[in-house]
Structure 1
């Protein structure tokens, strides 16, 4: 997988039309690494996390450029990537994944870049995404940039993600994968250390229940790590929350920022 990924990354210097697919492959590569290295104890796992982060950043940089070229660091090299000359698929789901990766890698400049992307640039047709997703992105951008009305935006996110309101995402995905990071973020914002750990334990139980419901899901590499809960847990860890939870869904050395500063990202 990594051999093909590195070839695709090299190809970006000639054409960026498949940059969204290359980003997806890089995220899959991180999940694959965590499958064989559950604690993220190997430098190669950290490299895969950074590559996924860099690909997400490059995707939105290229999508926002429209024309010309964009310089991005990916897989240890500065690369000049041409704008594709057509609209790229760089929507809300890719943004959220990229934001989680930036939190996990503790990359503040990229968090700022992602938070400055206009919400209208991320909007999907209403039939393709629930309203809560855009409230959620607005909440995270406002939090990182220290903007106004954060509490109101988080309340709007919680209200519109209720199963009685959200209609696009399947109920089990909403409850098992999409909602838990919102709940964790709520406890984090309130500095609720006593409530955070039980909420994290519940998030991991829900993640496991969703990704082991049947044989197809159990074999799906997307269930290897709980990306959203891991990202919020990284925030809690850095804020001194006593987590007291060990799980393959939360690779230990990503959570504990063991590899930060190992090489330029």
Structure 2
């Protein structure tokens, strides 16, 4: 027996009813060949319909199995490669952020005493200069003011240079943001991809149970309640998940899979 004959034999054939057999025999005995042919056509149609239903069931099972294999394989890659890599990337982001924060705090700690000293010295010199303008300083006090101004100018120049270097160091410490932003966006895409695959896995494994529950409720009530319909619609919408940006070809795969689902569902499988 060939492989095609074995498959054909494996499909259950609907039994011919006793009434149909009697009608066929009666038509043949009466010589009514037209009725006999009509009865035979009805028997063949019933057989073809059963074969069509069995073929649809096999197609649905194969389709779900292939999708399940595809999702399971991608989840395995995500678990073994992408997720550990994402953990290392996030650890790198944490380390770079910590280093930048420490550099910024060190610069602030170094510059604050310089600015505080500047403020105190300038307030003192400004007060004495105001006394000089009001002609309240004697010769010795004016000479002391000149000496203090002469010593303050080099200190101010050196302090300004130190503050400038500190601000430049703070600016350089922020260069990590561009790199860490790229890493974080890549991890976000990975999380979205994991979400999409998990949703697909849940839809594959739970679809039959959801359909059985909905069918049982409809059989009891005669029709699905509006609330259940809306709930199912929301569930299907949420299960789609967000699209993963930056991953080429994913939208095409999802579209083709949904088209196959729609086709099988429209045929009643």
TM > 0.5 between the two? no
Q: TM-score, normalising length from structure 1?
A: 0.22
Which protein is richer in strand relative to its size? 1
More contact order relative to length (CA 8 Å, sep ≥ 6): 2
Q: TM-score, normalising length from structure 2?
A: 0.22
Which protein is richer in helix relative to its size? 2
